[in-house]
Amino acid sequence: MIVYPVRRSITPFMWFTAALLGLYVTTLAFFWWFALPTSLDFQIMAALLGVGIAAVGVTGFVAYRLRYIYRIPRVGTVVLVGYLLAAGLILVIMWGAASLLFIHAYDALIITILMLFASGVVVSIGYMQSAAITEKLASLTGAAEALAMGRYHVRVEIDDNDELSRLAEVFNAMAAKLEAADRKERQLDRLRRDLTAWIGYDLRVPLLSSRTMVESIAEGLVTDPEMLNRYLRIARRDINALSDLIDDLYDLAQLDVTGIRLERTPAHIDELIEMTVDALRHAAEQKNITLTSRCAPNIPPIPIDVRQINRVLNNLVGDALHRLPKGGSVKINAYPTRNGALIEITDTFEGLRPEDADTIFKLFFGEEDVRSQTNETVRLRLALADAVVRAHGSQIRPQRLGTQGLRLVFALTQDGANVGPGTRGM
């Protein structure tokens, strides 16, 4: 869309003409009232002012209405030429009046010299005004050129109260939005690359394991029935993991296209936590990790998407089991809040720095690129879990516990409002 300068037809020139006519009448009235001229002098003054007003009107029409003055390439020069025209017309009018109304040539010469001095003052002021405008426009032009070259951090500082200062504020706001959009685009580019790496890692491990199991069976390397059943169980486990990963990728794609669609139904959070513990108990026992849960008895039913929240709990607890060394512990706790429940997943672990706990989940919509601040690979399922919790109106908040613990907290509310981890209630 192209926005052209506002053209108000003939309205500005009409105001200009009205101002000239008012000046003509006012000047004649002052001349008649204070100078008490003769009839001849009054006629001469009226004729002289009429000629002057006509000359000014014609000059203004040609210069501004026909836009001849705007053919000058610099705005400051346009302003200076305007002052020169005004001073020159005033000087000619005063010289004509002095020549016709003054008897002595000396008086006419004195008046002409004084008006020449006044015209010089006017032109000097016009030069200062044009220089100030040119300086402001030069700063705006330089900033716009820098912005066009991709330097979105550039800003313009004009500490005035005129239209150019307002233009600088609008320019700075536009530059800030472009800088934020550019930063977001770079983050998305890095996120796409990281997402490819995450998918490759999560696909490669179960696929390689199941392929090894199937090839061993197909080539007849496994003949013992018990060993054969064990290989088949491993292959089925890996295939289930691949199926879950594909479901996660589909949900993540839906998040990018249309967002996560929630099917909310009232549910008891303690039942979901118990299902998560039962599903992951075997994986915890294999790593000698203690997996426990505790839910307060007075948590009301909460309208949530049961399938999605169950996936969140499985993803978060499963990631904790994956990171923890043998002998660690994972605890899932639920507490009532004023209008919902607060979920805590606490584990003892090693591997993350304190600053990682503050940035691990700010992946998609944070103002800063937090993934560059950590060496820990953030799993695809953690990103999906955070997206689901955000869709429910909350946010996963990591907290460092001492030197070997991490506490993940998020709230589920009746109305989907965001509740911080410190609003626990009965």
Phi-psi region of 226 (alpha: psi -120 to 50; beta: other; left: phi over 0): alpha
Domain that includes residue 210, residue range:
185-257
Which tokens is 274 given? 């118990």
Per-residue pLDDT at 34: 84
Same domain, 45 and 167: yes
Same domain, 16 and 162: yes
Task: Give a three-class secondary structure readout of 64-118.
Answer: HHCCCHHHCCCHHHHHHHHHHHHHHHHHHHHHHHHHHHCCCHHHHHHHHHHHHHH
Which tokens is 378 given? 């953030």
Q: The domain spanning residue 242 has which CATH number?
A: 1.10.287.130
Same domain, 173 and 199: no
Per-residue pLDDT at 258: 57
Mean pLDDT by 10 residues, the chain (426 residues): 52 78 88 85 84 81 72 74 78 75 70 77 77 81 86 83 83 89 82 71 76 82 81 82 76 64 87 89 86 89 90 86 81 90 83 44 39 42 81 84 78 68 40
| Residue at 426 is within a domain | no
Rounded distance between C-alpha atoms, residue 421 and residue 408, angstroms? 10
| Residue at 422 is within a domain | no
Helix (H, G, I), strand (E, B), or coil: what is residue 249?
helix
| Residue at 419 is within a domain | no
Same domain, 167 and 239: no
Per-residue pLDDT at 395: 86
Per-residue pLDDT at 343: 93
| Residue at 3 is within a domain | no
Which tokens is 250 given? 């589909």
Same domain, 156 and 247: no
Domain count, the chain: 3
Same domain, 158 and 66: yes
Per-residue pLDDT at 344: 93
The secondary structure of 324-357 as a DSSP string is: SPTT-EEEEEEEEBSSEEEEEEEEE--S--HHHH
Same domain, 59 and 131: yes
H/E stretch holding 36 reads none
Q: Which residues of 187-224 are buried (b: 16+ CB within 10 A; e: fewer)?
A: beeebeebbeebeeebeeebeebbeebbeebeeeebee
Same domain, 280 and 369: yes
Q: The domain spanning residue 333 has which CATH number?
A: 3.30.565.10
| Residue at 4 is within a domain | no
Rounded distance between C-alpha atoms, residue 313 and residue 60, angstroms? 77
Same domain, 173 and 189: no
Same domain, 88 and 232: no
Which tokens is 136 given? 């402001």
- Domain final residue pick, 228, 257, 286: 257
- Domain final residue pick, 205, 228, 257: 257
Same domain, 295 and 360: yes
Same domain, 171 and 190: no
Task: Give a three-class secondary structure readout of 266-289.
Answer: EECHHHHHHHHHHHHHHHHHHCCC
- State the virtual CA torsion across 279, 281, 287, 289 in degrees, nearest 10: 130
| Residue at 294 is within a domain | yes
- Domain final residue pick, 214, 232, 257: 257
| Residue at 378 is within a domain | yes
Q: What is the pTM of this model?
A: 0.47
Which tokens is 416 given? 């989907």
| Residue at 62 is within a domain | yes
Q: Which residue type sits at 361?
A: F
